[in-house]
Chains A and B, each alone.
Chain A
Amino acid sequence: MQDDRAQAEDGGTRIWGCSACATPTDRRNARTANLWGVFWLPVFAASVWLLKHYGEHSLAVCVGALLLGGLGMVPFVRAQLRFLREADELTRTLHFQAMGVAFGVGILAAVFGGFLGKILELATGSPVAAEKFHSLNPLLAMIVAFMVAIAVLMRRYSR
């Protein structure tokens, strides 16, 4: 009841809503970081394409493709660091906690991914599917864990 009154007092918007969760600076910096992330995808695709088509017989192409993929990530990392440095302090806390969870889950997935792959192989009878699952597992697990952790933590601090 008290919460309802507080929400009504603040214009009736639920605190869970986006307008409550970020300052204009946060939104601007997050948008910039996301754009650099999107920019990196074609760079990464180009890097993989180069490696696949020309990298087999040329060390220079291999190194160049790896540098392209790596350097293409630099603006994204810089934008992420800026987002965290300038973020609203609760937002920053949430992101650090979520990163901690994602890091732990990623390590667990990397360590136990082989076992999960084996389970998948036994269940489906397909070693190829299990292999793919194994190689994607830590990264996917980290991304999913980060997103779930952010949602749970936002809910926890907003209640």
Chain B
Amino acid sequence: MKNGLRTLRAEHGWSQAELARRLGVSRQTVNAIEKERYDPSLPLAFEIARLFERRIEEIFEPRAGAESRG
């Protein structure tokens, strides 16, 4: 799953730790999502979308022809 989390986070001037705190997850989770090594659960994806006031599909995009690694 491709995502624009790092860009959105940078736009808000938040560190990974700050974003993790706002989402209630570990910094490792934020790092893994940003590096597209881990696909978040649906509740976490909704929480990310709510936090950045975007729709989920504006942040996450399925990688064509590739299986999830999360």
Contact = CB atoms under 8 A, between A and B. Distances in A.
Interface string A12-45: 0001000111110010000000000000000000
A135 interface: no
Q: Please classify how large the interface on chain A is, using the bins under 10, 10 to 19, 20 to 34, 35 or more.
A: 20 to 34
Contact of A88 (B15, B29, B70): B29
Contacts of B17: 10-11, 20
Contact of A159 (B15, B37, B41, B44): B37
B31 A89 contact: no
Contact of A156 (B24, B25, B26, B37): B37
Contact of B38 (A11, A20, A22, A90): A90
B27 A89 contact: no
B15 A157 contact: no
A11 B1 CA distance: 27
A158 B28 contact: yes
A157 to B, nearest CB: 4
A137 interface: no
Interface of A: 6, 9-11, 15, 19-23, 26, 88-91, 93, 154, 156-159
